Amino acid sequence: MQHRIKLLKTSEVYEKLSSSTVKLIDVRCAEAYNGWCLKGERRGGHIPSAKSLPFKWIRYIDWPDILQSKGIEPENELIVYGYNIDESEMVADHFLRIGYQKIALYNDFVKEWCTNPQLPLNRLARYRQLVSASWLDQLLSTGSAPHYDSQRYVLVHAFYRDQSIYDSGHIPGAIAMDTNQLESTQTWNRRSPSELKIALEKAGITSDTTVILYGKFAYPDKNDPFPGSSAGQLAAMRSAFIMLYAGVKDVRLLNGGMQSWTDDGYEITSEPAHPQPVGDFGVSIPHHPEFAVDISEAKQILKSKDKNLVCVRSWNEYIGETSGYNYIQKKGRIPGAVFAECGTDAYHMENYRNLDHTIREYQEVESMWAASGILPHVHNSFYCGTGWRASEAFINAWLMGWSDISVFDGGWFEWSSDSNNPYETGIPIKPLF
């Protein structure tokens, strides 16, 4: 490297943990940050307060915007660490080139920090349910992978309506699953227990099957009457929620969807994989009825002081500038709903995703929610227009280990269809006291 960068000892890093001006930068992949042990380390996770900034992101033209969104400022003292010393140095050098001056390297994370149980590590509560492309490749190639102990698995390529999304290329061994198999084409709500039982059994899924879901990213087609709905990772999230509701015990998501698979250089195929139907799902559906609420329960949530009905929609939908959908006429929001903005519109989830479509660093989502009063000790029921974005927010909370969560399945579509239901528009007026 052209610049001399200070190397810190483990004791020096530990002493700086309480400093508000110090930013630790974890350059490993998101899965390692979340908790997976990928290089033989004794303990998985990340140093408390560390920001996730995977090495591959330095190739992105939006890198400065990523730093700003994570609150990593030039005046901060940065400590860069990871698995690979060369990668850490390249990231540090990248910071120097754009004007960051106070940078140090910590190269003993695996050797010293992970081996000392007295040193703190944080991790995503259900990190095992968020898998990497390399983990999936190992499972497909050998039938075995870390933290996989089921008798069988099913890999699911989720999409909405358009079979060509699957036919044009998918991960080898993945079966096709149209979300219409799991939700009503009229109401967008989850299908009845008997219908879900049939759909899951036809797909070869029982309650004991490990199911790995992913989607294929596609830009919305504005000429489509349902633009963006086939943009797969949302379809995967929606399917994952419904499967958890039904009673599948081991639901996993390929973090970043098919984008992660192709980013890592793995091949895709157009050869279809055919489901192997099973005789019985194994438990009564829904096995987790508490995960879904309908409109009467949503109204009770609004009356409760220790429950939140959480609106996972865009700001323009929330204030009534747009309904968000060309098949929903009424514009506005449910009075009393707590706002948890999704992103730019009804078909994007930028506030819950990284640029590579992996799930956003969980502490950042927690912080965003906390600012709106969305906290883990109260019941939070997520809703959006038709349940898709709400399902992704639900999955985020579920991965964090939040226990008292649900999806108001009908969302704005069902609420707004009844003229007797109240609604609001405009910017909410906050009380003075």
| Span 340-364, pLDDT tens digits | 989 999 888 999 999 899 999 999 9
Measured distance CA(24)–CA(213) in Å, rounded: 32
pLDDT at 403 over 80: yes
pLDDT at 7 over 50: yes
Longest dimension (CA), the chain: 69
% of the chain exceeding 90 in pLDDT: 88
Angle subtended by helix axes 362-370 and 388-399, to nearest 10: 110
* Angle (CA) 399 400 401, round 5°: 90
More confident residue, 172 or 433: 172
- At residue 224 the predicted structure's pLDDT band, cuts being 50, 70 and 90, is very low
Give me 222's structure tokens. Answer: 């504005």
pLDDT at 323 over 50: yes
Q: Stretch 43-65: mean pLDDT, rounded?
A: 94
pLDDT, tens digit, 9 for 90 and up, residues 180-219: 999 999 988 999 999 999 999 999 999 999 999 999 975 4
- At residue 70 the predicted structure's pLDDT band, cuts being 50, 70 and 90, is very high
For residue 225, the model assigns a pLDDT of 40
Domains present along the chain, CATH in parentheses = 6-123 (3.40.250.10), 128-287 (3.40.250.10), 290-416 (3.40.250.10)
pLDDT, tens digit, 9 for 90 and up, residues 230-251: 457 999 999 999 999 999 999 9
For residue 428, the model assigns a pLDDT of 87
pLDDT at 432 over 80: no
What does pLDDT average to over the chain? 93
Question: Which residues are identified as catalytic?
Answer: 384
For residue 192, the model assigns a pLDDT of 97
